[in-house]
Chain A
Amino acid sequence: MTYWIGAAAALAAAVWMALSGINEYFFYAAFVVLQFMVLATAWNILGGYAGYVNFGTAAFFAIGAYTAVVLFKWLGAPLAVQIAVGALVSGLLGFGVGLLTLRLRGIFFAIATVAIIFIMETMMVNWRYVGGATGLQLLRPDVMAPFASYTRMLFAVMALLAIVAVSVARYVQTSWIGRGLRAIRDSEEAAECSGVPTLKLKLFACTVSGALMGAAGAPMPMYLSFIEPASSFNLNYSVSALAMPMIGGTVHWIGPVIGALLLGSIQQIVTVTISNEINVLVIGVLLVLFVVFAPDGVIGLFKKFVRRR
């Protein structure tokens, strides 16, 4: 109950901000932070709960974006439809990829998911309808009332998506599904022998995770008014989606939220004040520091602190 009050308050705050007179740039940056929150939360469902490290986030994200582009160019579909179908297509991709790769364990699964990025990117590069390698310029439709600009509206939409993603992750974590996924992470063989249908649960996690990543990617073309393969399939999405839960903590739904707020904000600040290249360095350094000194992330640090008091 407290969770839902908090979620409603967060959404109300986001909408209120979008309607207020805050500087436009804030929304431009906050959209990206929220987008990473969705990606990190989605990644954590498979990577954190079940322990299957997915490096293919960029592929699911970009397929969501490209689905939106196709729908927009072909039918002029509204944003809500773009997001819904983007999530559906990426969810299906997650299911398919899961069927092919979830029998692999550990590093082999991780490698297989990297391959998905290259396969999908090659396909988009060679598809003229969506602009091929040079990309495609998109003309934004008129903004819907009551929002003053399209970026403000996208910010509110992404805030809603973040809350949906976190709610899904929270449900998965606290339900019997979450317990099964944790059993898989701890010992897959013992989980099977305790009656856990490991392949089915992993497929479920991979599908849900993929769908949420697709939903995060779908508003991207409208945000940039442009789509292009190299930036859509950027490995940075994969790395950030993995680093944020690691830094926040993977065992609880709040972990990716903390990680995304922390790392996402730092990235935005660094991009503006220093440079875009330092950005990647920041992720790397923070990730190493956390893996070495706080393997359970911010959540782990917090727990340790509470126990000591």
Chain B
Amino acid sequence: MTEVWLVVALVGVGTVAIKAAGPVLLGGRPLPPRLAGVIDLLAPALFGALIAVQTFGDGQSLVVDERVIGVAVAGLAIWRKAPLIVVVILAAAATAIARAVS
């Protein structure tokens, strides 16, 4: 539980600082283009990693289980432009059903 509160506190303080940095400290000076290009790719890289680990990771081993079905259904729903909450519910439901029948 202490770990949870540490994460909440540190992520909170860090995010507030990052958001305030531009408007309060830098006063609108632009970033060098190469640095901006690197920061632009941070979110896709991290999302890719999180998707991979949340789909195939099981502790320190990699497994293919019912989650793959859930993520595939999510991909289909995203492709059909479903809202995020619908994507999440469909993925969970598909995984739960696959688990129940296997």
* A and B: interacting chains: no
